[in-house]
Amino acid sequence: MTELPDFSRLSDAEKDALIRLLWQRLEKLEREVAELRDRLAQPAKTPDNASLPPSQGRKAAVPEKPRREGPRQGSLGRKEGGRPLGCEPDETYIAKPVCCAHCNAPFGEADQMLHGRYDKACPRA
């Protein structure tokens, strides 16, 4: 029923039927409201009282980290990453391979060239 009928044109039997229909709908809606109120009165589901995974539980109060400005600094090993090179290093280690790692061909002094400089711990230490 989308709009109210004209009551002056309805018979007593039709009015009684309409009242019964509306009464049934009212009872159904009152039952639904009562069920929803009961559901709201129940405690919230947590991993402690229901079969929920721990990840769905309450999260710890962790303070927010300050937002980083600009791009992320490159990590060690990446091009232009890591800390800046020292102007006067304490120790210099020059690594020169003796042969090719793939084919074992020997390297001469002319085959050696500087590939890169790093400010890292010495592999011998």
Strand partners, 106: 99
**DSSP string for 51-103:** S--GGGSPPP--PPPPPPPSSPPPPTTSTT-SSPPPSS-S-------SB-TTT
What mean pLDDT is predicted for residues 61-78?
76
Closest CA relative to residue 94, chosen from 61, 124, 53, 65: 124
* Residue 125: pLDDT over 90: no
Give the residue-averaged pLDDT of 88-116.
Answer: 84
pLDDT-based confidence at residue 32 (cuts at 50, 70, 90): very high
d(CA 97, CA 109): 10
Work out the pLDDT band at 1, boundaries 50, 70, 90: low
Query: Where does the pLDDT of residue 21 fall: very low under 50, low under 70, confident under 90, or very high at 90 and above?
Result: very high
